[in-house]
Amino acid sequence: MSTIFSKIIAREIPADIVYEDDLVLAFRDIAPQAPVHVLIIPKKEIATVNDISIADEAALGRLFTVAAKIASDEGIAESGYRLIVNCNEDGGQEVFHLHMHILGGRRLGPMLAKR
């Protein structure tokens, strides 16, 4: 099932794209939670982490190399940042096209909200 992220890949809706190659696309989150908040997605439609297969390893590895490049480009590599991949309801996933959040530019606080 396609999501809004497939429409961004196809340029059917606008996005502030910061990086693209054959395997992945990165764009700024529309509702940023930190001064830097970028999403990196595989171009292949993978709904959740549960749907990953071995054939996806190259694209998923690319998410990390591109995350490091974007962190450097955005000037947060040394100050630090957080990479998040949410899965399904308890993980807080809202868009069912696998994506990695890059968050940085301020102290992000504890990893999880207090209950």
Residues in touch with ligand AMP (CB under 6 A): 4, 15, 27, 29-31, 39, 86, 92-95
Retrieve residue 49's tokens: 């982490």
Q: CB of 97: closest distance to ligand AMP in angstroms?
A: 8
- Phi and psi at 26, nearest 5°, equal -130, 140
Decide whether 49 or 78 has the Cβ nearer to ligand AMP: 49
Decide whether 1 or 54 has the Cβ nearer to ligand AMP: 1
Q: Which of 61, 66, 59 is nearest to 26 (CA)?
A: 66
Decide whether 78 or 94 has the Cβ nearer to ligand AMP: 94
Q: Which of 1, 7, 20 is nearest to 96 (CA)?
A: 1
Is 99 tagged catalytic? yes
Retrieve residue 1's tokens: 């099932």
Catalytic residues: 99
